[in-house]
Chain A
């Protein structure tokens, strides 16, 4: 069974940092591009970041570019999201999702999602 499990969420003050992890199982992790998507309270889904299967390509949404860094360790089947300079409006549930191909492209979509991890940015 394909499964994704996120961890690392919590309460952090504005300006602080947090690192999220997402462990994949049941599929060849290194063959799948991966992505982070978030859901803020009362808002809709927002695409945050994505990376190719080999980690060589990385993409970011405009609201997080320069503050967040996506990475992966294929030897550990784990995806990461390093979040720095956190702001109140980064408060959200963060989901990792498996992409349908080895890289992000026109036809790729998100086949499997984790249960999400909550990040709260507040003083």
Chain B
């Protein structure tokens, strides 16, 4: 069981906006930044969002994220078929370890 809680699945049609939630606790999300990673099956994870809401260069502005209290969320607008992947939230925990969410599989219908 993962420390951070994400819905196992999410879906949407092309062009729609989808939101993925991530819930934690004071010791991780509450006190630390949240980051998001995208992973396609059979490939390595890729940094998607860092420090709550920052996009690395090359990540489309269709991807956005926010954090409030002990929760965070990732939003994907203008959904495209190539967005179909697994999405993970992550944070540092005050117990001096990294923590991940269980991952959300996004399906583009």
Residues A74-107 near B (CB distance < 8 A): 95, 97, 100, 104-107
- Which of A44, A97, A107 lies in contact with B33, CB distance below 8 A? A107
> Would you call A116 an interface residue if the criterion is a C-beta within 8 Å of the partner chain's C-beta atoms?
yes
A93 to B88, CA, bound (A): 16
Is A45 touching B32 in the complex (CB atoms < 8 A)? no
- The answer to whether A44 and B2 touch (CB under 8 A), given A106-B32, A114-B44, is yes
Chain B residues bordering chain A, tally (CB within 8 A): 27
Which of B12-20, B71-79, B94-102 lies on the face that meets chain A?
B94-102
A111 to B43, CA, bound (A): 15
- Which of B31, B43, B50, B100 lies in contact with A44, CB distance below 8 A? B100
A residues in contact with B100, CB < 8 Å: 37, 44-47
Residues B40-54 near A (CB distance < 8 A): 43-47, 50-51
Is A44 touching B44 in the complex (CB atoms < 8 A)? no
Is B99 touching A47 in the complex (CB atoms < 8 A)? yes
A residues in contact with B31, CB < 8 Å: 106
Q: What is the chain A residue whose CB lies nearest that of B8?
A: A44
A48 to B97, CA, bound (A): 8
- Which of B50, B99, B102 lies in contact with A109, CB distance below 8 A? B50
Residues of B at the A interface (CB closer than 8 Å) are 2, 31-33, 35, 37, 39, 43-47, 50-51, 56, 86, 88, 90, 92, 96-103
Number of chain A interface residues as a range: 20 to 34
Per DSSP, chain B at the interface is: strand
A residues in contact with B102, CB < 8 Å: 43-44
Q: What is the chain A residue whose CB lies nearest that of B46?
A: A113
Is A108 touching B92 in the complex (CB atoms < 8 A)? yes
B residues in contact with A114, CB < 8 Å: 44
- The answer to whether A115 and B98 touch (CB under 8 A), given A45-B37, A107-B51, is no
Is B32 touching A116 in the complex (CB atoms < 8 A)? no
Among A46, A97, A106, the one with the most B-chain Cβ atoms within 10 Å of its Cβ is: A106
B75 CB to nearest chain A CB (Å): 19
A1 to B36, CA, bound (A): 23
Is B45 touching A95 in the complex (CB atoms < 8 A)? yes
> Would you call A55 an interface residue if the criterion is a C-beta within 8 Å of the partner chain's C-beta atoms?
no
